[in-house]
Amino acid sequence: MSVHVSADAPTPRRPVSIHDLRASKQRGEKFVMLTAYDHSAAALLDELGVPVLLVGDSLGMVVLGYESTVPVTLDEMLHHTRAVARGAPNAVVVGDLPFGTYQDGPSQALASATRLLKEAGATAVKLEGGGPMIEVTAHLVRAGIPVMGHLGLTPQSVHQFGGFKVQGRDVEAADQLVADAVGLADAGAFAIVLECVPTELGARITEAVDVPTIGIGAGPHTDGQVLVWHDLLGLTTGRLPRFVKPYADLRSEIAGAVKAFSSEVADGEYPGPEHRY
């Protein structure tokens, strides 16, 4: 049976793969990654052609109201990743491995990562840190699980760092981050997030590895950039990190819409004749 596509129908998109991201680096083409925590956001971002969606454990702070990412559970990550994967058939969907689900070593990490792929439909997983996480990465990759690394400010270690602070400022720390990045790339990580590191170090790491780097507070020289969806849209309250640039002010737009709705209901204007059965 043949399938005929109308000339007016949109051309079907080919799903993005992790190999496409490396090809982008080789061509010198920068790309974006955005967080997504639910089906509607994922569907819109997928429609807009965002190549990588991160179901970050940042959902703990952004969606669930925790003070950090540390309390996020694997079950919570599975719940949100399922919703995102259902809405984004074309993007690379990366699910964060939450704190306490991989630090015990390769076996624990494999069990957790397997659930994110099998039960939630993720394309890949992300884990934080270098050092012992290099072997964990290699173990997952050998099992056929794509892994995204994460270096610099790793939020799951915020208590160890003493707060959300820029990492790699001194020579020794910078050299260690470069070594960890090379180790992760050699272990098979398909990309590495660099968070809150000096611009020069972001450029140095990007040059040192043949896999894409994705920056968040790591300067303009990384291969890609990532922002939290709510930060991008101007929905976040309070003091924002220096690297955040709101591209809209949806908080004000939403406030105006809610106030208008409340006012019209109070005045009896809504529902009008056109809204009645």
| Nearest alpha-carbon partner for 20 in 232, 216, 223 | 223
CA dihedral (177, 149, 216, 41) in degrees, to 10, reads -170
In the chain, the DSSP E strands lie at 31-35, 52-55, 92-96, 124-126, 147-152, 191-195, 213-216, 224-227
17 is in an annotated binding site: no
The closest of 148, 140, 66 to 108, measured between CA atoms, is 140
Q: Is 269 annotated as a binding residue?
A: no
User: Annotation-wise, does 25 bind a ligand?
Assistant: no
Point out the residues that are catalytic: 195
- Cis amide bond preceding 98, omega within 30: no
User: Any known ligand binding at 107?
Assistant: no
The gap between the terminal CA atoms of the chain, to the nearest Å, is 45
Q: How far apart are CA 184 and CA 80, in angstroms?
A: 27
Q: Is 126 within any annotated ligand binding site?
A: yes
Binding residues for 3-methyl-2-oxobutanoate, as ranges, are 57-58, 96, 126
Binding residues, as ranges, are 57-58, 96, 126, 128
Binding residues for Mg(2+), as ranges, are 57, 96, 128
